[in-house]
Amino acid sequence: MSDDRVVHSTATPQQRIHAVQAALEARGMHAADAVEELSHLAQEEWIPRNGARVVARAWVDPAFRQRLLTDGRAAVAELGLSMPNHHRHLVVLENTPTVQNVICCTLCSCTAFTLIGLPPDWYKDLEYRSRVVRESRTVLKEMGLELAADVEVRVWDTTADTRYMVLPVRPANTEGWSEEKLASIVTKDSMIGVSRL
Protein backbone atom coordinates (compact mmCIF):
# COMPACT_ATOMS: atom_id res chain seq x y z
CA MET A 1 0.00 0.00 0.00
CA SER A 2 1.41 3.42 -0.94
CA ASP A 3 2.17 5.94 1.80
CA ASP A 4 -0.20 8.63 0.52
CA ARG A 5 -3.30 6.54 1.15
CA VAL A 6 -5.21 7.01 4.36
CA VAL A 7 -6.69 3.83 5.73
CA HIS A 8 -9.96 4.17 7.66
CA SER A 9 -10.64 1.04 9.61
CA THR A 10 -14.31 0.32 10.17
CA ALA A 11 -15.51 -1.20 13.41
CA THR A 12 -17.70 -4.27 13.11
CA PRO A 13 -21.33 -3.97 14.25
CA GLN A 14 -20.39 -5.97 17.35
CA GLN A 15 -17.58 -3.54 18.22
CA ARG A 16 -19.92 -0.59 17.71
CA ILE A 17 -22.53 -2.14 20.00
CA HIS A 18 -19.89 -2.63 22.70
CA ALA A 19 -18.71 0.97 22.29
CA VAL A 20 -22.24 2.38 22.61
CA GLN A 21 -22.99 0.14 25.60
CA ALA A 22 -19.74 1.15 27.30
CA ALA A 23 -20.52 4.84 26.76
CA LEU A 24 -24.01 4.38 28.26
CA GLU A 25 -22.68 2.37 31.22
CA ALA A 26 -20.05 5.04 31.88
CA ARG A 27 -22.90 7.54 32.28
CA GLY A 28 -24.81 5.36 34.69
CA MET A 29 -27.32 3.99 32.17
CA HIS A 30 -27.75 0.24 32.16
CA ALA A 31 -27.80 -0.68 28.52
CA ALA A 32 -27.49 -4.41 29.06
CA ASP A 33 -30.62 -4.45 31.25
CA ALA A 34 -32.57 -2.49 28.66
CA VAL A 35 -31.46 -4.84 25.90
CA GLU A 36 -32.47 -7.83 27.97
CA GLU A 37 -35.87 -6.34 28.74
CA LEU A 38 -36.44 -5.49 25.11
CA SER A 39 -35.59 -8.97 23.92
CA HIS A 40 -37.88 -10.43 26.59
CA LEU A 41 -40.72 -8.22 25.36
CA ALA A 42 -40.05 -9.05 21.72
CA GLN A 43 -39.93 -12.80 22.29
CA GLU A 44 -42.49 -13.31 25.05
CA GLU A 45 -44.94 -10.40 25.07
CA TRP A 46 -45.18 -8.89 21.59
CA ILE A 47 -46.37 -12.01 19.85
CA PRO A 48 -48.91 -12.65 17.07
CA ARG A 49 -50.85 -14.79 19.50
CA ASN A 50 -52.20 -11.48 20.90
CA GLY A 51 -53.63 -10.39 17.57
CA ALA A 52 -54.90 -13.92 16.96
CA ARG A 53 -56.96 -13.69 20.18
CA VAL A 54 -58.44 -10.42 18.94
CA VAL A 55 -59.34 -11.94 15.58
CA ALA A 56 -60.93 -15.02 17.15
CA ARG A 57 -63.02 -12.88 19.50
CA ALA A 58 -64.16 -10.73 16.58
CA TRP A 59 -65.23 -13.86 14.69
CA VAL A 60 -67.41 -15.18 17.51
CA ASP A 61 -68.71 -11.92 18.99
CA PRO A 62 -70.34 -9.51 16.51
CA ALA A 63 -70.68 -6.74 19.11
CA PHE A 64 -66.96 -6.96 19.88
CA ARG A 65 -66.19 -6.97 16.16
CA GLN A 66 -68.15 -3.75 15.76
CA ARG A 67 -66.31 -2.11 18.67
CA LEU A 68 -63.01 -3.32 17.22
CA LEU A 69 -63.75 -1.75 13.84
CA THR A 70 -64.89 1.48 15.51
CA ASP A 71 -62.06 1.94 18.02
CA GLY A 72 -59.37 -0.70 17.85
CA ARG A 73 -57.32 0.51 20.80
CA ALA A 74 -60.26 0.48 23.18
CA ALA A 75 -61.46 -2.91 21.97
CA VAL A 76 -58.11 -4.71 22.35
CA ALA A 77 -57.81 -3.22 25.84
CA GLU A 78 -60.93 -5.23 26.72
CA LEU A 79 -58.80 -8.34 26.19
CA GLY A 80 -56.04 -6.93 28.39
CA LEU A 81 -53.87 -6.02 25.42
CA SER A 82 -52.03 -2.72 25.45
CA MET A 83 -50.32 -0.61 22.85
CA PRO A 84 -47.60 1.99 23.34
CA ASN A 85 -48.90 5.53 23.88
CA HIS A 86 -47.52 6.70 20.55
CA HIS A 87 -49.65 4.11 18.75
CA ARG A 88 -52.52 6.52 19.11
CA HIS A 89 -54.92 4.74 16.77
CA LEU A 90 -55.45 1.11 15.92
CA VAL A 91 -57.39 0.79 12.69
CA VAL A 92 -58.67 -2.73 12.09
CA LEU A 93 -59.28 -3.54 8.43
CA GLU A 94 -61.92 -6.13 7.76
CA ASN A 95 -61.33 -8.47 4.85
CA THR A 96 -64.27 -9.87 2.94
CA PRO A 97 -64.43 -12.46 0.16
CA THR A 98 -64.02 -9.57 -2.31
CA VAL A 99 -61.72 -7.21 -0.36
CA GLN A 100 -58.14 -7.95 0.64
CA ASN A 101 -56.48 -5.36 2.90
CA VAL A 102 -52.69 -5.27 3.03
CA ILE A 103 -50.53 -3.20 5.35
CA CYS A 104 -47.06 -1.82 4.88
CA CYS A 105 -44.89 1.02 6.08
CA THR A 106 -43.41 2.76 3.08
CA LEU A 107 -41.01 4.79 5.25
CA CYS A 108 -39.61 2.13 7.55
CA SER A 109 -41.09 -0.81 9.45
CA CYS A 110 -44.00 0.34 11.66
CA THR A 111 -46.55 -2.24 12.75
CA ALA A 112 -48.94 -2.72 15.64
CA PHE A 113 -46.14 -4.87 17.05
CA THR A 114 -47.63 -5.47 20.49
CA LEU A 115 -50.47 -7.27 18.74
CA ILE A 116 -49.07 -8.90 15.63
CA GLY A 117 -45.43 -9.22 16.66
CA LEU A 118 -42.34 -7.51 15.31
CA PRO A 119 -42.32 -7.11 11.54
CA PRO A 120 -40.79 -9.89 9.43
CA ASP A 121 -37.58 -9.03 7.56
CA TRP A 122 -39.35 -8.89 4.21
CA TYR A 123 -41.77 -6.27 5.61
CA LYS A 124 -38.80 -3.99 6.30
CA ASP A 125 -37.26 -4.61 2.92
CA LEU A 126 -37.26 -1.75 0.40
CA GLU A 127 -38.47 -4.20 -2.23
CA TYR A 128 -41.73 -4.91 -0.37
CA ARG A 129 -42.23 -1.34 0.86
CA SER A 130 -41.86 0.18 -2.57
CA ARG A 131 -43.56 -2.44 -4.70
CA VAL A 132 -46.59 -3.41 -2.63
CA VAL A 133 -48.11 0.04 -3.17
CA ARG A 134 -47.49 0.05 -6.93
CA GLU A 135 -48.08 -3.55 -7.93
CA SER A 136 -49.79 -5.08 -4.94
CA ARG A 137 -51.46 -7.91 -6.83
CA THR A 138 -48.15 -9.04 -8.31
CA VAL A 139 -46.33 -8.83 -4.98
CA LEU A 140 -49.07 -10.84 -3.28
CA LYS A 141 -48.90 -13.45 -6.03
CA GLU A 142 -45.13 -13.73 -5.59
CA MET A 143 -45.75 -14.28 -1.88
CA GLY A 144 -48.13 -17.12 -2.64
CA LEU A 145 -51.46 -15.30 -2.50
CA GLU A 146 -53.16 -15.40 -5.85
CA LEU A 147 -56.35 -13.38 -5.79
CA ALA A 148 -59.26 -13.66 -8.18
CA ALA A 149 -59.74 -10.68 -10.47
CA ASP A 150 -62.87 -9.59 -8.62
CA VAL A 151 -61.01 -9.21 -5.31
CA GLU A 152 -60.17 -5.59 -4.62
CA VAL A 153 -56.75 -5.03 -3.00
CA ARG A 154 -56.47 -2.12 -0.57
CA VAL A 155 -52.99 -1.14 0.62
CA TRP A 156 -52.61 0.84 3.86
CA ASP A 157 -49.47 2.78 4.69
CA THR A 158 -48.72 2.81 8.42
CA THR A 159 -47.65 6.00 10.16
CA ALA A 160 -46.02 6.56 13.53
CA ASP A 161 -49.33 7.15 15.29
CA THR A 162 -51.78 5.10 13.22
CA ARG A 163 -51.22 1.33 13.25
CA TYR A 164 -53.17 -1.22 11.27
CA MET A 165 -54.19 -4.81 11.68
CA VAL A 166 -56.06 -6.94 9.17
CA LEU A 167 -59.07 -8.93 10.30
CA PRO A 168 -58.97 -12.02 8.08
CA VAL A 169 -62.08 -13.76 6.78
CA ARG A 170 -63.07 -16.64 9.01
CA PRO A 171 -62.40 -19.86 7.11
CA ALA A 172 -65.30 -22.09 6.17
CA ASN A 173 -65.64 -25.31 8.14
CA THR A 174 -64.77 -23.70 11.47
CA GLU A 175 -68.34 -23.67 12.76
CA GLY A 176 -68.57 -24.45 16.43
CA TRP A 177 -64.85 -24.09 17.07
CA SER A 178 -63.78 -22.66 20.42
CA GLU A 179 -62.20 -19.21 20.48
CA GLU A 180 -58.90 -20.80 21.44
CA LYS A 181 -58.96 -23.19 18.52
CA LEU A 182 -59.88 -20.37 16.15
CA ALA A 183 -57.01 -18.25 17.48
CA SER A 184 -54.58 -21.09 16.79
CA ILE A 185 -55.08 -20.82 13.03
CA VAL A 186 -54.53 -17.04 12.79
CA THR A 187 -51.06 -16.18 11.47
CA LYS A 188 -48.99 -13.01 11.51
CA ASP A 189 -49.02 -12.94 7.69
CA SER A 190 -52.82 -13.06 7.63
CA MET A 191 -52.94 -10.03 9.96
CA ILE A 192 -50.53 -8.17 7.68
CA GLY A 193 -52.73 -9.17 4.77
CA VAL A 194 -50.27 -11.10 2.62
CA SER A 195 -52.07 -14.38 3.11
CA ARG A 196 -55.60 -15.68 3.58
CA LEU A 197 -56.65 -18.39 5.98
Interacting residues toward Fe ion by CB under 5 A: 105, 107-108, 110
> Which residues does 72 contact at the CB level (< 8 Å), separation at least 6?
89, 90, 91, 92, 165
CA distance 1 to 67: 69
Which amino acid, residue 31?
A: A
109 is catalytic: yes
Residue 29 beta carbon to Fe ion: minimum distance, rounded to whole angstroms: 26
Q: Based on the number of CB atoms within 10 Å of its own CB, is 54 exposed (0-12), middle (13-18) or buried (19 or more)?
A: buried
Active-site residue, from 104, 105, 136, 190: 105
The one catalytic residue in 104, 110, 136, 190 is: 110
Q: Are 161 and 31 in contact (CB under 8 A)?
A: no
- Active-site residue, 104 included: no
Q: In this structure, which long-range contacts are made by residues 41-46, counting pairs with CB atoms below 8 Å and at least 24 apart in sequence?
A: 42/118, 45/114, 46/113, 46/114, 46/117, 46/118
CB closer to Fe ion out of 105 and 112: 105
Q: Rounded to 5 degrees, what are φ and ψ at 186?
A: -90, 125
The residue among 5 and 86 lying less far from Fe ion, judged by its C-beta, is 86
* DSSP 8-class letter at 96: B
Of the CA atoms within 13 Å of residue 117, those in its CB half-sphere come to: 18
Minimum Å gap between C-beta 149 and Fe ion is 31
- Least Å distance, CB 109 to Fe ion, is 5
Check 82, 108, 178, 184 and give the catalytic one.
108
Q: Closest residue (Cβ) to Fe ion?
A: 110
Q: How far is the CB of 86 from Fe ion (least distance, A)?
A: 12
User: Which of 31, 91 has the CB closer to Fe ion?
Assistant: 91
In angstroms, what is the minimal distance from the CB of 84 to Fe ion?
Answer: 13
Nearer to Fe ion, 22 or 107 (CB): 107
Residue 110 is among the residues annotated as catalytic for this protein: yes
Nearest alpha-carbon partner for 123 in 143, 105, 107? 105
- The nearer residue to Fe ion, 75 or 105, going by C-beta atoms, is 105
Give the residue numbers annotated as catalytic, written as ranges: 105, 108-110
